[in-house]
């Protein structure tokens, strides 16, 4: 019996690609080039399955033109805002994602950005690296202390709960807004807010961990920022679409926000050039899950879903 034919749209970890080559008739992308909608449509006529990343976009128009040979899209990501799930459902194409396995790595980046933004790490690094460190005094490079402050978490899912756990190590007081209140065990002392407005009012630091959707697009805008305490710090390791970037710039310029730490942007790759004008915006190129361990785990989780599907069992992470 021939093996299912699989297209892996981007370069994945060596361990993932080795396992894929063992179990599938696989088409790899060693150049790691980005695929267009036309590429996706063309490839769908030659494969039974695709492992894409969030860089490949499956809008309704693209999904409508996928070849009937394609049976499953096993995403190498948790977020699926790049996929029109309703369109996939109408075509009868299975879609999966990779939850759980990247939560620790993403929470690490969120804490890195929180600390870095608070203590002016990017500014300090640039100063020393550029040979501009010429003086020192008690008033030099003063930042915001993290210990004992209030952290507001938007989206208390897997990553949000781990972020809360890490924050407790800094004696932060954790508050959260979620679609529903967690059990007391999962809350672990965190304070639930039934509305975003209520959470914003007590958030010295605000960390975003909810998915992007039509409901959450631009959820952090001028109106929301106005409800934060003066000098608050925003951290986003979820999706760029959650933040109105123009309103964020205005809040930084006015001093309403003391700083921001961002790992995701509305435009990716590239980010927002306006942010680069502000030393108190710390930026990373969407590397929240970029550890060796997590990349292997994400790739294996995607392959686990494919294995289940082609073995005739229900994929663990099926979305449609």
Q: Reply yes or no on whether 19 is catalytic.
A: no
Q: Reply yes or no on whether 295 is catalytic.
A: no
Structure token pair of residue 101: 């396995």
Mean pLDDT of 137-151: 98
CATH of the domain at 270: 3.40.50.720
Pair (122, 233) in one structural domain: yes
Q: Does residue 303 surpass a pLDDT of 80? A: yes
- Whole-angstrom distance, CA of residue 94 vs CA of residue 110: 31
Asked if residue 315 belongs to a domain, the reply is: no
Structural domain including 213 reads 103-283
Pair (184, 234) in one structural domain: yes
Omega prior to 265 cis, within 30 of 0? no
Q: Which of 38, 223, 253, 268 is catalytic?
A: 268
pLDDT at 290: 97
Predicted confidence (pLDDT) per residue in 96-108, tens digit? 999 999 999 999 9
**Total number of domains in the chain:** 2
Q: Which of 54, 286, 295, 301 is catalytic?
A: 286
Predicted confidence (pLDDT) per residue in 241-260, tens digit? 999 999 999 999 999 999 99
Pair (136, 273) in one structural domain: yes
- Whole-angstrom distance, CA of residue 320 vs CA of residue 213: 16
Asked if residue 319 belongs to a domain, the reply is: no
Q: Does residue 178 surpass a pLDDT of 80? A: yes
Predicted confidence (pLDDT) per residue in 11-42, tens digit? 999 999 999 999 999 999 999 999 999 999 99
Asked if residue 227 belongs to a domain, the reply is: yes
Q: Which of 19, 239, 295, 301 is catalytic?
A: 239
pTM for this one? 0.94
Mean pLDDT of 83-110: 97
Alpha carbon of 99 to those of 55, 157, 164, 199: distances in Å? 17, 10, 18, 26
Q: Reply yes or no on whether 193 is catalytic.
A: no
């Amino acid at each position: 019996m021939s093996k299912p034919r699989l297209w892996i749209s981007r370069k994945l970890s060596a361990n993932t690609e080795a396992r894929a080559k063992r179990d599938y008739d696989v088409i790899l992308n060693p150049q790691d080039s980005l695929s267009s909608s036309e590429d996706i449509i063309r490839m769908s006529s030659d494969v039974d399955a695709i492992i894409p990343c969030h860089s490949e976009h499956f809008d309704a128009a693209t999904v409508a033109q996928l070849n009937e040979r394609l049976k499953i899209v096993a995403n190498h990501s948790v977020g699926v805002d790049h996929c029109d799930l309703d369109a996939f459902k109408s075509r009868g194409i299975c879609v999966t994602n990779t939850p759980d396995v990247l939560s620790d790595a993403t929470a690490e980046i969120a804490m890195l950005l929180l600390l870095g933004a608070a203590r002016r790490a990017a500014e300090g690094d640039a100063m020393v690296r550029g040979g501009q460190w010429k003086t020192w005094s008690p008033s030099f490079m003063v930042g915001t202390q993290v210990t004992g402050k209030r952290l507001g978490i938007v989206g208390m899912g897997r990553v949000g709960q781990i972020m809360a756990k890490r924050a407790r190590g800094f004696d932060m007081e954790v508050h959260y807004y979620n679609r529903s209140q967690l059990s007391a065990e999962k809350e672990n002392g965190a304070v639930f807010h039934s509305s975003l407005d209520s959470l914003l009012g007590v958030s010295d630091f605000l960390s975003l961990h909810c998915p992007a959707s039509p409901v959450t697009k631009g959820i952090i805008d001028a109106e929301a920022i106005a409800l934060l305490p003066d000098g608050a710090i925003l951290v986003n390791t979820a999706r760029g679409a959650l933040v109105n970037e123009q309103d964020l710039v205005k809040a930084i310029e006015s001093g309403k926000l003391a700083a921001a730490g961002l790992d995701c942007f509305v435009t990716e790759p590239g980010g927002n050039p306006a942010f680069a004008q502000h030393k108190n915006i710390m930026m990373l190129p969407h590397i929240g899950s970029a550890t060796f361990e997590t990349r292997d785990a994400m790739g294996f989780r995607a392959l686990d879903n494919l294995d289940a599907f082609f073995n005739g069992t229900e994929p663990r992470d099926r979305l449609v």
